[in-house]
Amino acid sequence: MTADVALLGIRHHGPGSARAVAAALERWRPDAVLIEGPPEADGIVHLAAGNGLVPPVALLAHAVDDPARAAFWPYAEFSPEWVAIRYGVERELPVRFIDLPAGYGLGPAAEAGEAGEPGEPAGPVADPLALLAEAAGYDDPERWWEDVVEHRAPGADGADDPDDPDGLAPFAAVAEAMAALRAEGLGESRRDDLREAYMRQQIRAARRAGHRRIAVVCGAFHVPALAVLPTVAHDRALLAALPRKVRTDITWVPWTHRRLSQATGYGAGVQSPGWYHHLFGTEGDPVPRWLTRAAELLRAEDHPVSSAHVIEAVRLARTLAVLRGRPLAGLTETLDAVRAVLCEGSDVALELVRDRLVVGDALGEVPDAAPAVPLQRDLTRWQRTLRLKPEAAPKDLDLDLRKDTDAARSRLLHRLRLLGVDWGVPARSAVNSTGTFRESWRLCWQPEFAVRIAEAAQWGTTVEEAATGKAVGTARAAAELAELTGLVETCLLAGLAGALPAVMRVLADCAALDTDVAHLAGALPALVRALRYGDVRGTDHGALGEVATGLADRICVGLPPACVGLDAEGAAAMRGRLDEVHGAIGLLGPAARPEPDAPDGSAGPGTPAASPGPDGSEALADRWAAALRSLARREPAGGPATGAPGLLRGRAVRLLLDDGRLDSEEAAGRLRLVLSTANAPADAAGWIEGFLTGGGALLLHDPRLLALLDEWLTGVPGEVFTDVLPLLRRTFAGLEAGVRSTIGGRVAAGPLGEAPAAPTPGGTLDPARADAAVPVVALLLGARPRIPRQAAGRNT
C-alpha cells in the first residue's frame, strides 16, 4: 500500500470481507472509491443510492448488435463491492469501476478465449484460497475461510484498534499471502495481466484527477500486481494486445440468492448465500438465531420442533466446533446439529433447511430509472397491470379464461414462452377439470430472463409485437409440419391475430407438399386443440378447420399402407400417433354412433346413413373408422414385412370396439384368429398389447375374451413363452391394479368356463398348483428338477 492508495483485497461475496471493507472505509475515509467491475457501469452506479436498488442485483452488459452475448456482475448485500458502492454513493464520492471494459469480452474474438487469447482460461488456473487452505492443513477452502476470516472479522464490534487505526491490517495480511503465491507463479493467467494493467491505468487516472485518499476494492489475488506500479509504457504495451471493443449496453437487473449459488456471473458460485446473508446481518453469535429460524421453518412444515430442540442444537453445534478445533461453530457444525436434533436424522427435512435457509429465494429489485429496452418496460407495465409480480420462489397459478384478467394473463405468459422467456410453465392443476376454460401454470422468475428479453427486442418494442414478429420468423424457418401446427396452437393461445394469417399460409403450403403420414399424424392433434381453444378465446378458426379436415382426410387414406413393415420401435411410435389422431378426429365434431357392424362387415340393422354434418365431421368419422378396419385386416400373411405389426392391428380393433363400431362378438372372433396356431406368438403378444392398452376391464366384462387369452397363453410352447414373457408382462403391468387382481383371482379359481374348484382347506398345500410352479422356480435358482407330470404342457 502507498500513502494515498489503500488496496482492499477481498473475496467476492464474502461477508467477512464485506465487514472488513465497511470498517476500513469508515476509518480511512477516502475521497474516491475504485471498484473491480465494468467501467461501462459508471453512469448507473448512482442508482444504488436510496432504497430503489435492493440486492441481490447484478450488472448486465450485452452487445448492442447481439444481445445474446452478455455478461453478469452479481452483488448481494454481503458482497464487499456492494458495501463499497453504497459507502461512496451515500457520501456523494466519485465511484468508478476499473476492470477491463465489458466490450472487450463480448466480441466474436472472445469466443475462443477471453481478451482474444485462444485457449487462455477465464481466471486463475488455480484457486488461491484452495492453495492457502491446503498450506494451512485444511481440506476444505470454505472451512478455512470461515475460520480465519468470517470468525475473526475485524470491525465486527465497531471498536477501534489502536494498533490499526485505519482498519487496513487484515488487508495487509491477505496481500502478503497472495504475494507469496504469485511469487511462485501460482494462479496467474494472460487475462489477469491485461486486467491488472488496465486497473493500474485507472489508479493513475484517479491520481491525476486530484484524489489523495483512494480506496481500491478488488479481488485479493490482484493486490500484489497493483501495489507496485510499473511504467506507463509497460502497461500500454500490454493493453495494445486487446481485441476490438464492441458497443455495449449495461443496466441493473434483479438477481437471486439461488442464482448466486451457481457458477454464473462474475465471482459467483457461492455455496451458501442464505447463510452468508445471515452472517453479515447478525451481530454477535449467529448460531442461536440461525437455529431459531430453522426451527420456525420446520414447524411451519409440521415438524415437531420445540424451544428445547433449539437449545440442544446450539449446545451440540458449539461442542462439535470445540471437538474439531474451530474457533466458532460454522455452517458444517450447524447443519450437523440441525440434522441430529431438529430433523431427528432425517435428510429430507435437512434438505428443506438447505434449500430455504442455506441457499434461499431472495429476489432483488431494480428502480424504474434503470436503463432498459422498450420491450422490458412494456413487460413491466403488463406485470403491474395484471398483478403478476416476478418471484424467485415457484408459485402455482390457476386461471379461469372466462375472466378478462385471467385471459390476459394467459396471453402474456404464452407470448413470453414464444419469446423464450419461460417465466410460466404449464402445469397440472390441483382442480380436476377437463374444460378448455381453465389453465394452470407454475411461475418462477429467473435472472437470465433479462438477457432473453434484450435478445427478443429485435422482434418488436412491445410483448405482443415481439411475439408476433418471432412467430412469423419461426414459421418461415420451420422445416417440419408438426412444428408449424404447434406454432399455430401457440399463436391462438397467445392471441396473436396478426401472426396467424402468415403462419397459416406457410402451414397450408407445407401440408400440401408433405406426404409422410407420420408427419401428418403428428401435426393434426395440435391443430384440433387449437380449434378447441378458439371456442373459449373467441378466435376465428375457419381456415384452421379446413386445414385440419384436409390433414385428417389424407391420414385416413394413407394410414393403413404406412403401417406395413414397421419394426418394433416404429410400431410403438405409430401407436402413439394412432391414439392421438383418434382423439383429434373425435374432437373435430360429434361422430355418428351407428349400431355395431354385422359379422360379415356390412352395416348392422338400424345404422343411419352416413350423412355429413355441417362441417363434414360425421363423414370424417366414418372414413376414419374405415381406415382402422383396413389396418386391422392387414395380417402379415407373407411375413412381418407384408403386413402391419400386431401392436397396431390390435390397437385398431380396440379403438373400433370402444367407439361401438365393432361388437364384442366380432372382437372375440378377431382375437381367436390372432391367437390361432397359424400366427407367430410374438405377433399375437403384440396384438394383445395393442388391444389391452388403455384398460383391461373388458376382459372382466366379457369372459369369452379372457378365456381365449388364457387358453392361448397356457398353450404357448415353453421355449417361445420365454421370448414373449417380457412383452406380456409389460402389457399387464399397464392395467389398473384392481383389474389385474380380479383377473388373477378368476384365473386362479380354475379353468375358465368351468365350475370353480373347491377351495383348499386353510394351511393345506395344493400339490397340483405347487408342482406347476416348480419348473419356473428351478429355472430362477439354476436347478434342474424333474418336471412334474401335472405341470407338463402348462405355462406358469
Distance between CA atoms of residues 144 and 132, nearest Å: 9
Q: What is the pLDDT of residues 538-549, one digit of tens each?
A: 455 566 777 778
Distance between CA atoms of residues 393 and 446, nearest Å: 10
Compute the C-alpha angle 352/358/362, nearest 5°: 95
The percentage of residues in the chain with a pLDDT greater than 70, rounded to a whole number, is: 82
Which range among 334-348, 483-497, 514-528, 771-785 has the greatest average pLDDT?
334-348
Q: What share of the chain is helix, strand, coil (3-state, %, to 5)?
A: 55, 10, 35
The band of 352, judged by pLDDT with boundaries at 50, 70 and 90, is very high
Contact 481, 510 (CB under 8 A): yes
Q: What is the pLDDT of residues 214-226, one digit of tens each?
A: 999 999 889 999 9
pLDDT: which is higher, 774 or 441: 441
pLDDT of residue 739: 77
pLDDT of residue 597: 41
Q: What is the pLDDT of residues 717-746, one digit of tens each?
A: 776 777 777 777 777 777 777 777 887 777
SS3 category, 563? coil
The band of 754, judged by pLDDT with boundaries at 50, 70 and 90, is low
C-alpha closest to that of 739 among 706, 712, 708 = 706
Q: What is the pLDDT of residues 663-721, one digit of tens each?
A: 777 877 777 777 776 677 788 888 888 888 767 777 777 777 777 777 777 777 776 77
pLDDT of residue 689: 83
Contact 26, 280 (CB under 8 A): no
Contact 477, 485 (CB under 8 A): no
Residues 6+ apart with CB under 8 A from 8: 20, 21, 24, 80, 84, 168, 171, 215, 216, 217, 218
Mean pLDDT of 360-385: 90
The band of 328, judged by pLDDT with boundaries at 50, 70 and 90, is confident
**Residue 759: pLDDT above 70?**
no
C-alpha closest to that of 592 among 575, 561, 613, 578 = 613
pLDDT of residue 586: 83
Q: What is the pLDDT of residues 387-400, one digit of tens each?
A: 999 988 889 999 98
Reported as half-sphere exposure (CB side, CA atoms, 13 A), residue 180 has a value of 9
pLDDT of residue 746: 76
pLDDT of residue 118: 33
Q: What is the pLDDT of residues 522-538, one digit of tens each?
A: 778 877 877 765 544 44
**Residue 380: pLDDT above 50?**
yes
Give the range among 42-46, 69-73, 497-501, 669-673 with minimum mean pLDDT: 669-673
**Residue 117: pLDDT above 90?**
no
DSSP characters for 440-504?
EEEE---TTHHHHHHHHGGG-SSHHHHHHHHHHHHHHH--SHHHHHHHHHHHHHHT-TTTHHHHH
**Residue 100: pLDDT above 70?**
yes
Number of Cβ within a 10 Å radius of residue 372: 22
Question: What global pTM score does this model have?
Answer: 0.68
pLDDT of residue 159: 47
Mean pLDDT of the chain: 81
**Residue 596: pLDDT above 60?**
no
pLDDT of residue 78: 92
pLDDT of residue 87: 95
Compute the C-alpha angle 455/106/370, nearest 5°: 55
Q: What is the pLDDT of residues 59-71, one digit of tens each?
A: 999 888 888 888 8
Distance between CA atoms of residues 73 and 79, nearest Å: 11
**Residue 333: pLDDT above 60?**
yes
DSSP characters for 93-158?
--EEE-S--GGGTSSGGGTTSGGG-TT--SS-SS-HHHHHHHHTT-S-HHHHHHHHTGGG-TTTT-
Where helices occur in 538-645 by DSSP H, the ranges are: 542-562, 568-588, 617-632
28-60 b/e (C-beta count within 10 Å ≥ 16 → b) = eebebbbbbbbbbbeebbebbeeeebebbbbbb
Contact 728, 688 (CB under 8 A): yes
Number of Cβ within a 10 Å radius of residue 120: 17
pLDDT: which is higher, 595 or 186: 186
The band of 598, judged by pLDDT with boundaries at 50, 70 and 90, is very low
By DSSP bridging, strand 32-35 and strand 95-97 are: parallel
pLDDT of residue 151: 66
Q: What is the pLDDT of residues 251-299, one digit of tens each?
A: 999 998 888 877 655 556 688 899 999 988 888 889 999 999 999 999 9
Contact 273, 13 (CB under 8 A): yes
